[in-house]
């Protein structure tokens, strides 16, 4: 495993010219409120952590992360930085095109934030790149696409933003940044509405039950994500 920005150009070149060039992983974070108890970088810390663990198991090349994402529902809380759809789209488009220019054959874009327009921006960029480069193998997912498979089993079916899962994971990854415990909150948004002020419906910034969280769960969850990613990339 390598971090892209720690390689010299020669090391990078050698690496990409191997018989089987590595999978390049592009981590995507977000700066977004996660309740009063979790840090603004919650959606960044999670993918960076699982990628680090994954890299201990497989030969992957980790590109520098994109720290900024698109956050509509939490935009009006303190600290959320939401960039425009087209900004995120163009940034990821440029990065993917450059990776392809340097010979990447398999790329995974892994996002900690799972908001739909955010994911749509990543996927539209990927779609445009792969259409121009049909041989490229390209995967775009949020690690929450993996984690939410567990909802309805060990976790409440609608556990979500800053809830049990997310709190548990950050308790395992960056416990010193968890400030107390959030309260259970299951907001009911008016159906299908596009809202100027969605924050009115969940003033705590929480969608789930962080009070049920603990670090042990978090360790298990993170392991589960790493296992699943390993399996996905092995099949790649």
Output the smallest distance, CB 179 to a second copy, in A.
5
Q: Assess contact for 4 and 61: CB atoms under 8 A.
A: yes
Q: Site residues for a second copy, window 149-168 (CB under 8 A)? A: none
Does residue 201 touch a second copy according to CB under 8 A? Answer: no
Binding-site member from 86, 154, 183, 223 for a second copy (CB under 8 A): 86
Task: Tell me, by CB under 8 A, how many residues bind a second copy.
Answer: 86
Q: Distance between the two ends of the chain, CA-based, in angstroms?
A: 17
Q: Does residue 200 touch a second copy according to CB under 8 A? A: no
Q: Does 102 bind a second copy (CB under 8 A)?
A: yes
Q: Rule CB under 8 A: is residue 205 a binding residue for a second copy? A: yes
Q: How far is the CB of 67 from a second copy (least distance, A)?
A: 3
Looking from the CA of 120 toward its CB, the CA atoms found within 13 Å total 9
Q: How far is CA 80 from CA 3, 34, 75, 87, in A?
A: 27, 9, 5, 16
Distance separating alpha carbons of residues 108 and 105, to the nearest angstrom = 10
Among 22, 23, 25, 37, binds a second copy (CB under 8 A): 37
d(CA 139, CA 233): 9
20 is an interface residue for a second copy by CB under 8 A: no
């Amino acid at each position: 495993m390598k971090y892209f920005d720690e390689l010299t150009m020669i090391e990078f070149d050698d690496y990409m010219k191997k018989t089987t060039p590595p999978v390049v992983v592009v981590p995507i974070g977000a700066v977004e409120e996660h309740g009063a108890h979790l840090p603004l970088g919650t959606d960044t810390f999670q993918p960076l952590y699982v990628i680090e663990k994954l890299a201990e198991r497989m030969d992957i090349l980790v590109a520098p992360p994109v720290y900024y994402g698109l956050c509509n529902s939490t935009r009006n809380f303190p600290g959320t930085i939401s960039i425009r759809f087209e900004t995120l789209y163009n940034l990821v488009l440029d990065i993917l095109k450059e990776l392809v220019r340097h010979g990447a054959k398999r790329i995974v874009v892994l996002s900690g934030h799972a908001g739909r327009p955010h994911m749509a921006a990543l996927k539209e960029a990927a779609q445009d790149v792969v259409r121009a480069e049909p041989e490229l193998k390209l995967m775009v997912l949020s690690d929450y696409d993996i984690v939410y498979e567990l909802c309805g089993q060990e976790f409440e079916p609608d556990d979500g933003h800053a809830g049990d899962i997310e709190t548990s994971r950050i308790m395992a990854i960056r416990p010193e940044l968890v400030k107390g415990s959030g309260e259970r909150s299951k907001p009911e948004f008016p159906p299908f509405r596009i809202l100027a002020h969605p924050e009115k419906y969940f003033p705590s910034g929480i969608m789930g039950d962080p009070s049920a969280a603990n670090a042990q769960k978090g360790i298990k969850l993170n392991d589960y994500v790493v296992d699943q990613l390993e399996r996905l990339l092995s099949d790649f």
